[in-house]
């Protein structure tokens, strides 16, 4: 592996991790919206 491979690995993993976390927030928001509808709060 050369220098650029390490660089791309670091940047790629950073964005995978952040993207995964953002996706988790979106899923959680959708689940809460569904629960609110079921409770009749919307």
Question: Please, which residues have CB within 8 angstroms of residue 4's CB and are 6 or more apart in sequence?
Answer: none
In the complex, least distance from residue 34 CB atom to another protein, rounded to whole angstroms: 11
In the complex, least distance from residue 2 CB atom to another protein, rounded to whole angstroms: 8
Distance CA 26, CA 12 (A): 21
Using CB under 8 A, list all residues that contact another protein: 1, 3-4, 6-7, 9-11, 13-14, 17-18, 21-22, 25, 28-29, 32, 35-36, 39, 41
In the complex, least distance from residue 33 CB atom to another protein, rounded to whole angstroms: 9
Distance CA 12, CA 16 (A): 6
């Amino acid at each position: 592996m050369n220098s650029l491979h390490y660089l791309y690995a670091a940047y790629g993993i950073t964005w995978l991790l952040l993207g995964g976390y953002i996706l988790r927030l979106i899923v959680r928001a959708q689940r809460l919206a569904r629960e609110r509808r079921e409770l009749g709060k919307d």
